[in-house]
Homo-oligomer: A and B are copies of this chain.
Amino acid sequence: MKKGTLYCVGMGPGDPELLTFKAWHALCHCPVLALPEDQSGRQTAATILKEAAARQDGLYMDEKTMLSLTFPMTRDAAVLQKAHEDASQKAAAVLDQGLDIALITLGCPTVYASCMYIQKEIRRRGYNTVVIPGITSFSAAAARLGQSLCEKDEPLLIVPAGRDDIPDLLDVQGSKVLMKVPRHMGALKKQLQEKGLLSCASLVERCGLPGERVCTDIRDVDDTGYFSVILVRQEDDL
Residues of B within 8 A of A4 (CB): none
- Give the residue of B17, B133, B151, B173 whose beta carbon is less than 8 angstroms from that of A25: B17
Question: A140 contacts the other chain (Cβ, under 8 Å)?
Answer: yes
CA distance A107 to B180 in the complex (A): 25
Q: Which of A154-162, A190-198, A210-218 contacts B (4 or more CB under 8 A)?
A: A154-162
Residues of A within 8 Å of B, CB-based: how many? Answer: 58
Question: A93 contacts the other chain (Cβ, under 8 Å)?
Answer: no
Residues of B within 8 A of A143 (CB): 10, 108-110, 131-133
Q: State the copy count for this chain.
A: 2
CA distance A214 to B169 in the complex (A): 31
The 6 closest A-B pairs by CB, nearest first: A110-B142, A17-B22, A131-B143, A133-B139, A156-B158, A133-B143
Query: Which residues of A are at the interface with B, using a C-beta cutoff of 8 A?
Result: 10, 12, 15-22, 24-25, 52, 56, 108-113, 116, 119-120, 123, 129, 131-136, 139-140, 142-144, 146-160, 162-163, 165, 169, 172-173, 180
Instruction: Tell whether, in the assembled complex, residue B18 and residue A148 are in contact, meaning their CB atoms are under 8 Å apart.
Output: no
User: Closest chain B residue to A172 by CB distance?
Assistant: B172
Residues of B within 8 A of A52 (CB): 21
- Give the residue of B109, B113, B155 whose beta carbon is less than 8 angstroms from that of A163: B155
